[in-house]
Amino acid sequence: MIKPVKLKLGDTIGVCALSDPLMEEEIQELEDAKKKAEEMGFKIKLSKNIFSNTNGYSATAKERADDLNALFKDTDVKMIWCAQGGENSNSLFEYLDYEMIKNNPKIICGYSDITSITNIISAKTGLVTFSGMNFKGIATAETDYSLKEALKRFVDGNLELGIKEDKYECLKAGFAEGELIGGNLSLIKNLTCGKYSVDFTDKIVFLEELGIEAMPALVSNYLYFMKQNGVFNKIKGLWLGNYEHESGISLEKIVLDTIGEEYTFPIIKSNNFGHIDTKTVIPIGVKAKIDTSAEIKIQLIENCVN
């Protein structure tokens, strides 16, 4: 794995929109986030097409891919922070210059639809990428939890996942070590097979889902698709994040309904990542361990930035 260099105060952060277009209200949120980041001591560089909405539902895939390629190639940019999520970041896959990205490693962070980009870049290049708050969250988050987690990971190089007060539930006991892979369930499901798939062998998978977009039956659909394509035969452990649906049916129930007694890997649940205010920063491609008998049930066991 290729580990990016830590971020320093004074460094330039490149910001791009790889999915949905930034609408009027979101443009103001972006400007507010930019101002706060600059007040913290960072320089902010917005990508060329960040405000484009060429298709009427997003910038073209080529415009968005060009932005990401340009930010990786730009030697002044030390981190790429995705502005927000959306629906179609997978449309960039065929236009990304993976060899150039591999030769210009740097931090890239986002969550939700950005799951597609971070996981495919990690799979294609070996670069450690990150699941964490999107850039707009600097201005829109209800608390400073997620921003502190980002600074802790990217500036300090700290390996602690979340804070000591975060609670973990053990759904299936056990011990496992493996590289982390994962993010939003609906996007991870799409990466299980086909031309743009990722290798789940010996991985610890982390999954979350947005309840207002995925009812329990749809979550079951996604999980069974992964099961039917052999994912759960390959992985070493499973870490579940936030999922809230008006039915009250939990992600952990749906997972156990799917997996049943067929698999022996450990499963844990927490509320410190996903579509929720409390988002720790999870590196993709770095080794972690799950030990359900320990007080801290999941830990990173190698550095994720140099």
Assigned token pair, 211? 């309840």
Q: What is the pLDDT of residue 21?
A: 93
Q: What is the pLDDT of residue 192?
A: 97
CB 178 within 8 A of CB 288: yes
Q: What is the DSSP letter of 165?
A: T
Assigned token pair, 42? 């960072």
Q: What is the pLDDT of residue 270?
A: 97
| CA-atom Rg of the chain in angstroms | 18
What's the whole-model pTM score?
A: 0.96
Q: What is the pLDDT of residue 260?
A: 81
CATH architecture of 168-300: 3-Layer(bba) Sandwich (3.50)
| Closest by CA position to 19, among listed 49, 47, 55, 59 | 59
Judged by phi (left if over 0) then psi (alpha if -120 to 50, else beta), residue 202 lies in left
Judged by phi (left if over 0) then psi (alpha if -120 to 50, else beta), residue 41 lies in left
251-259 helix and 216-228 helix, angle to the nearest 10 degrees: 40
What stretches of the chain show up as alpha helix (H) in DSSP? Answer: 24-40, 61-73, 98-103, 115-125, 137-140, 145-154, 185-190, 216-228, 231-234, 251-259
Q: What is the pLDDT of residue 3?
A: 98
Domain range summary for the chain, segments of one domain joined by +: 12-154, 168-300
Q: What is the pLDDT of residue 33?
A: 97
CB 96 within 8 A of CB 167: no
Location of structure tokens 């708050």: 133
pLDDT by residue for the chain (306 residues), tens only, comes to: 999 999 999 999 999 999 999 998 899 999 999 999 999 999 999 999 999 999 999 999 999 999 999 999 999 999 999 999 999 999 999 999 999 999 999 999 999 999 999 999 999 999 999 999 999 999 999 999 999 999 999 999 999 999 999 999 999 999 999 999 999 999 999 999 999 999 999 999 999 999 999 999 999 999 999 999 999 999 999 999 999 999 999 999 999 999 988 999 999 999 999 999 999 999 999 999 999 999 999 999 999 999
CATH assignment of 12-154, among 3.30.2320.50, 3.40.50.620, 2.60.40.10, 3.40.50.10740: 3.40.50.10740
Q: What is the pLDDT of residue 285?
A: 98
